[in-house]
Each structure stands twice: as structure tokens, then as C-alpha cells.
A and B are shown apart, each in its own frame.
Chain A
């Protein structure tokens, strides 16, 4: 169910960066445009690992630049 996962991930991002969901466009750069930092990226990553019981390696952190990319990454990790 792709839409459910998108909504859940947006909830996590919104909670961690402390912004409302409508302030976070799916393609906005989280650090440059939304105001997140690398520690928030780690919190998002840890929340995803817990929620979906996946393991995301450290190298993937750099790729977590937008909500869309995070969704794609979580889906890919889930299939493994």
C-alpha cells in the first residue's frame, strides 16, 4: 500500500523536523529547504528502522535528501 507508507513516512519526518506536513513538499530538499540537519536525518532513519523492521546502512544517510527519496529507500529496503 504505497499511499499509506507515504503518509506514515511524512508523519515521521514532520514529527522529527517539527514542521507541519503541508510545509514539507515531497521533493523539497530537507536540509536546504525544510531546515532539517544531519542529526534529524539520523532520527528519521532510526524511526524508519523501528517502524518497518528494516536495516538502513550508514551510507544511505546522504541519500535521504527528500521525502520522496526516503520513501523510495524504505520501500527498497523492505523488499530485501
Chain B
């Protein structure tokens, strides 16, 4: 079942990731399989972080772009390991190419580098239209991964 590509709407997404308002950074999943997840987030002028970042120029914070990629990463992990372990971010290597502003629809593509039951590494890319605006390599582990 999990081998098939399937799309997920918000209530199904909330079953897979624990984050909630104002920290739920995925609106819809277009494709989900153990090999790849493609998800979208629509960025609106009403986002709660815009009043402070920045008062005169709305730019979505880079750390929240990483958060969006990490949340898509949780969905990817759960395609292979359908458990409800809380996952902790361990390391991030990221690069940003262009700012994300209100009106942008960001498309997040995540693929596994290595996924294991208690930890994993993934590669994520973030696009607005055809333009790549950010990418990162992230690793994460569950609390019981520590030796």
C-alpha cells in the first residue's frame, strides 16, 4: 500500500506530523512513497511570523523553510516506518537561493539518503515555480536512538 504514490490532505497530514498552528508548515502532500515525498505550503500575508520578519518587508524566515523541509521529511520517514516516534533534528546543512514572500507556493521535494528505524538522513529541495529557492541535507533521530 505504502509503495503507491498517494496524495494527502491536511487531516491526514496531521496524523503523520505532530506540529500544529502556528508551526504546521505543510498544507498538502502531492506524492508520498518511501522513495519520495512532494508537499506544498502556501505562503500568505497572514502568516503569524510576518509581523516580526520584517515589519516593513515580509520575508519567510530561512529557519522556517528548514522546518517545512523537516516536516516533509517526517512524512517521508513515516512512509517507511509507520510509527509515532517523536523525531529530533540532529544536523542540517542548508543553502538558500532566493527569498520566499507572501503569495509564493513552495513545493518541497524530499528523498532519502539513508532511512533507518530510529534515525535517518534525507535530502530536501524547495521550489517556487520552477526556481529552486533552498535545499538542505538533514539528519534526525528518535529519542531512543542514543546509545
Binding site for B on A (CB under 8 A): 31, 37-39, 42-43, 45-46, 49-50, 58, 61
Contacts and interface: CB of A to CB of B under 8 A. Distances in A.
Interface of B: 90-91, 113-114, 116-117, 119-121, 139, 141, 145-147
A38 B119 CA distance: 9
Contact of B146 (A37, A42, A45): A37
Given A31-B147, A46-B121, A39 B139 contact: yes
Nearest to B140: A39
Contact of A46 (B113, B117, B141, B147): B113
19 contacts: A37-B147, A38-B141, A38-B146, A39-B90, A39-B91, A39-B145, A42-B114, A42-B119, A42-B120, A42-B121, A42-B139, A42-B141, A43-B91, A43-B121, A43-B139, A46-B113, A46-B114, A58-B116, A61-B116
